[in-house]
Amino acid sequence: MKRRLDETWAVLLAAGSSTRLRDAGGGVRKQYIEYKGVPLFWHSARTLSRIAAMKGVVFVFPEADLKHMRRTVKDLFKTDDLGLRFEVVAGGERRQDSVRHGLEALPRECDAVLVHDSARPFASASMIQSLVEALEDGAQGVVPAIEVSDTIKRVDGGAVSETLVRSELRAVQTPQAFVTDILRRAHERAEAEGWDVTDDASMVERLAEVRIVPGEAANIKITTPGDLEALKQPRTLVPCTGWGYDVHRYGGERPMVLGGVPIAGAPQIKAHSDGDVLLHALMDAILGCFGGGDIGRHFPDTDPRWDGADSSILLREVLVLAEKAGVRIVHADLTVIAQVPRLAPHADQIARNLGRLLALDPHQVNFKATTEEKLGFTGEKKGIKAVACVTALREI
């Protein structure tokens, strides 16, 4: 039976000591190593923010770093607003202690939680979305898992005692997703009964079934000095450009939303989905970067599933397609054309939200609004239109 999740949060673990990596990282803990201009943990936070259901993140850092990291996270949100609520708390001696501290910081209404290691910066939004969907489909807990390629043997001292059946084995990754209540109860039992585990699923397995979804080979954990090479891996990239255009008529039943931002007092829109003309143009531009057709092909207005659909969720689907095609968006330039409403007061908020949805920095997103000097259907206040130009790099 489908479960409605109203408040999904993540606990992002960045409280490890990084003993094996500190020398290779110049004495810096691995979660703080700079990668593409920001600390490693911030890459996971960005990816989590691209999940439509995600409402907030609890960052867990070493207690000794807490004061400094509270300032750091606030500064990061000022320059790269993820559109999420957040808390910053101190970790504990063990990983499970750090998770427990993170759970204590969650709001009371949080009904689902993802626990993720910041040392796994390459987890994709599409994989994380599959975890959320598994919870919505009724799972109490769900983990990403990949098949084991090596033969695994149980040993006793210096001798093999058993060869395990490889087809029955999986290597699990993070994020791991749970109904919040079951994870809290598992941690309470662990404290009361002295459990010592290496991941949260190991606790929840004792109380409820934990399901799996396909993990990703690229979702590696930065653990040893050799793993740092993954942060330097060269890729062959070619530039590509996509262009999008969309129009909506006024006089409908949908409140105006532009770039995921509600526009109070604006004319209502006639549309099958939520009528976000800006995100519709943006999606077509993204699809154009890899020959993906248009949104009419992917989300036809004859399909009742898209009746009133949130366009930010549709954008997430398009971004998954782009990700699978090896496309990385690097810039978006968007313009709304309308005589009414006046959009200047909303421009900054729209630009910030577009940046969050696309996981881009502010300088990579440009939003403009203009009129057509009372000419044409927009000038006659009959409707609104938008154009978008997206620049991307595609792996070959």
Query: Is-cis flag, bond preceding 175, omega within 30?
Result: yes
Confirm whether 2 is domain-assigned.
no
371 and 268 both lie in a single domain: yes
pLDDT value at residue 35? 84
pLDDT value at residue 231? 75
pLDDT (tens digit, 9 = 90+) per residue, 67-106? 999 999 999 999 888 999 999 999 999 999 999 999 999 9
Which among 176, 200, 231 is the end of a domain? 231
Report the distance separating Cα 121 and Cα 113, nearest Å.
18
For range 120-135, the mean pLDDT: 95
Express as a percent the part of the chain with pLDDT over 90.
83
Q: Is the pLDDT of residue 24 over 60?
A: no
- The domain of 381 spans 237-395
Of the pLDDT bands very low, low, confident and very high (cuts 50, 70, 90), residue 396 is: confident
CATH number at residue 41: 3.90.550.10
Confirm whether 147 is domain-assigned.
yes
Confirm whether 260 is domain-assigned.
yes
204 and 267 both lie in a single domain: no
279 and 338 both lie in a single domain: yes
Q: 3-state class of 247 per DSSP?
A: strand
Number of domains in the chain: 2
79 and 144 both lie in a single domain: yes
Which among 198, 231, 264 is the end of a domain? 231
Report the distance separating Cα 362 and Cα 383, nearest Å.
29
CATH number at residue 272: 3.30.1330.50
Confirm whether 3 is domain-assigned.
no
Which burial class, exposed, middle or buried, applies to 245 when counting CB atoms under 10 A from its CB (0-12, 13-18, 19+)?
A: middle
pLDDT (tens digit, 9 = 90+) per residue, 200-234? 999 999 999 999 999 999 999 988 777 777 777 66
Which among 231, 247, 277 is the end of a domain? 231
Q: Which pair of structure tokens corresponds to residue 295? A: 């949104």
DSSP assigned state of 266:
P
For range 45-65, the mean pLDDT: 95
Report the distance separating Cα 100 and Cα 84, nearest Å.
21
35 and 173 both lie in a single domain: yes
272 and 367 both lie in a single domain: yes
Q: Tokens 């500190």 map to which residue?
A: 22
Q: Is the pLDDT of residue 170 over 60?
A: yes
Report the distance separating Cα 324 and Cα 116, nearest Å.
22
DSSP assigned state of 83:
S
163 and 261 both lie in a single domain: no
Confirm whether 20 is domain-assigned.
yes
pLDDT value at residue 31? 84
193-202's contacts with Cβ under 8 Å and 24+ in sequence apart are 195/96, 196/94, 196/96, 197/96, 198/95, 199/95, 199/143, 199/172, 199/174, 200/96, 200/99, 200/115, 200/141, 200/176, 201/141, 201/143, 201/172, 201/176
Find out whether 109 and 21 touch, Cβ atoms under 8 Å: no
69 and 180 both lie in a single domain: yes
Confirm whether 369 is domain-assigned.
yes
φ, ψ of residue 255 in degrees (nearest 5): -60, 145
226 and 244 both lie in a single domain: no
Pairing of strands 237-254, 269-270: antiparallel
65 and 103 both lie in a single domain: yes
113 and 222 both lie in a single domain: yes
Confirm whether 1 is domain-assigned.
no
315 and 377 both lie in a single domain: yes
Can you state the angle between helices 311-324 and 277-288, rounded to 10 degrees? 10
Q: Is the pTM of this model over 0.85?
A: no
Can you state the angle between helices 311-324 and 347-358, rounded to 10 degrees? 40
